[in-house]
């Protein structure tokens, strides 16, 4: 009997938002920002152009006065321009490896144990990420921690899929392109049609994220929803309105998540 399905965000959720480097607490950029900030990977010309796009589109993304619809169109435009830029700059598959191995990209404590726990209990887990560098880079980060997809039949990664030619050069991303404000169950379905089969008969859907938009991953699910958010201090109040459980962005980890899900599982079993 299937009781719980988990949908979890990647950047800032499975990965730490802060890491200690040389005694300093530094904020970890999303995977794409690692690419944008590290001139050694794609060169300074790419970085300059990428920053120009960032400086124009990022304020639009954050502006609460712009309608969802208008924002969606702009965010899509941003992605397309950026993907074109990555293609022109000569992004290769090997460069993604450098991004995935950046020392600032660190999984939250207990992530592997969490995935092991889900596997042992037959709980499906979908990593749903709007990451620009997509499934391949996410898989590479997980592999650094000994998490190999082939060992986790219950685990799926849904994100942007980047295509490379035979020589390893980036040629474009699969449609539809996912962006951050766009993470509804409906959009997940477009990338993973079997989600309906996965969710069928599930009593509860657990969504885990690090910002408000991640709660949308449960939109359209008819059963019970348990939202868990690794919220930054300044977002805590807002997130508490949308999510059922708030954990610390800075040092929250998946040991807490395992406990919460164990309790939920017990509650559902007692009821049935
Ligand atoms: Mg995130």
- The tens digit of pLDDT for each residue in 128-176 reads 999 989 999 999 999 999 999 999 999 999 999 999 999 999 999 999 8
Q: What is the dihedral sign for C-alpha 52, 215, 219, 109?
A: positive
Question: 250 C-alpha vs ligand 1 centroid, how far in Å?
Answer: 13
**Which of 100-103's residues contact partners 24+ apart within 8 Å by CB, and which partners?**
100/31, 100/137, 100/140, 100/141, 100/144, 101/140, 101/144, 102/34, 102/38, 103/19, 103/21
Rounded Cα distance, 240 and 225, in Å: 14
Question: Among residues 198, 193, 191, 238, which one has the least CA distance to residue 214?
Answer: 238
Question: 209 C-alpha vs ligand 1 centroid, how far in Å?
Answer: 6
Highest mean pLDDT among 2-6, 20-24, 113-117, 217-221: 113-117
Number of C-alpha atoms within 13 angstroms, CB side, residue 203? Answer: 14
What is the pLDDT, as a whole number, of residue 44?
87
Whether the link from the prior residue into 176 is cis, omega within 30° of 0, is: yes
pLDDT, averaged across the chain: 92
- The arithmetic mean of pLDDT across residues 56-76, rounded, is 90
Question: 12 C-alpha vs ligand 1 centroid, how far in Å?
Answer: 5
Question: 39 C-alpha vs ligand 1 centroid, how far in Å?
Answer: 24
Question: 271 C-alpha vs ligand 1 centroid, how far in Å?
Answer: 33
Question: Among residues 183, 115, 180, which one has the least CA distance to residue 153?
Answer: 115
Number of C-alpha atoms within 13 angstroms, CB side, residue 145? Answer: 22
* Per-residue pLDDT at 256 exceeds 60: yes
Residue 272 — pLDDT band, cuts 50, 70, 90? confident
Question: 269 C-alpha vs ligand 1 centroid, how far in Å?
Answer: 31
For the chain, domain boundaries: 4-271
Question: 216 C-alpha vs ligand 1 centroid, how far in Å?
Answer: 12
- The arithmetic mean of pLDDT across residues 102-113, rounded, is 93
Residue 2 — pLDDT band, cuts 50, 70, 90? low
In the block, tokens 């404000």 appear at 181
DSSP E strands in 22-106: the ranges are 24-27
Question: 272 C-alpha vs ligand 1 centroid, how far in Å?
Answer: 34
C-beta of residue 37 within 8 angstroms of C-beta of residue 103: no
> What are residue 134's phi and psi, to 5 degrees?
70, -160
Tokens for 236, please give them.
């805590």
Question: 11 C-alpha vs ligand 1 centroid, how far in Å?
Answer: 4
- Measure Cα distances from 33 to 133, 140, 208 in Å: 10, 16, 22
Q: Note the CATH number of domain 4-271.
A: 3.40.50.1000
The alpha-carbon radius of gyration of the chain (Å, integer) is 18
Rounded Cα distance, 195 and 72, in Å: 23
Q: Which residue has the higher pLDDT, 18 or 120?
A: 120
Question: 131 C-alpha vs ligand 1 centroid, how far in Å?
Answer: 9
Q: Helices 134-144 & 93-100, crossing angle to 10 degrees?
A: 50
């Amino acid at each position: 009997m299937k009781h719980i399905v988990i949908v979890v965000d990647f950047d800032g959720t499975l990965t730490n938002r802060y890491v200690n480097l040389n005694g300093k607490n530094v904020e970890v950029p999303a995977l794409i920002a690692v690419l944008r900030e590290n001139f050694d990977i794609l060169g300074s010309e790419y970085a300059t152009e990428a920053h120009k796009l960032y400086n124009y589109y990022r304020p639009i993304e954050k502006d609460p006065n712009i309608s969802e619809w208008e924002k969606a169109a702009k965010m899509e435009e941003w992605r397309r321009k950026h993907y074109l830029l990555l293609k022109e700059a000569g992004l290769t598959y090997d460069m993604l490896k450098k991004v995935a191995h950046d020392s600032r990209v660190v999984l939250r404590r207990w992530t592997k144990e969490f995935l092991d726990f889900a596997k042992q209990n037959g709980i499906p887990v979908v990593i749903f990420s709007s990451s620009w560098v997509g499934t391949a880079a996410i898989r590479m980060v997980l592999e650094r921690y000994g998490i190999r997809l082939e060992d986790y039949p219950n685990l799926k990664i849904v994100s942007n899929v980047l295509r490379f030619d035979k020589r390893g050069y980036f040629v474009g991303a699969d449609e539809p392109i996912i962006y951050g404000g766009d993470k509804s169950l409906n959009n997940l379905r477009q990338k993973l049609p079997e989600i309906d089969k996965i969710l069928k008969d599930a009593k509860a859907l657990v969504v885990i994220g690090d910002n408000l938009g991640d709660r949308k991953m449960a939109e359209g699910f008819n059963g019970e929803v348990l939202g868990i958010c690794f919220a930054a201090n300044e977002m805590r109040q807002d997130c508490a309105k949308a999510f059922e459980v708030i954990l610390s962005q800075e040092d929250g980890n998946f040991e807490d998540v395992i406990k919460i899900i164990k309790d939920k599982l017990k509650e559902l079993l007692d009821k049935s």
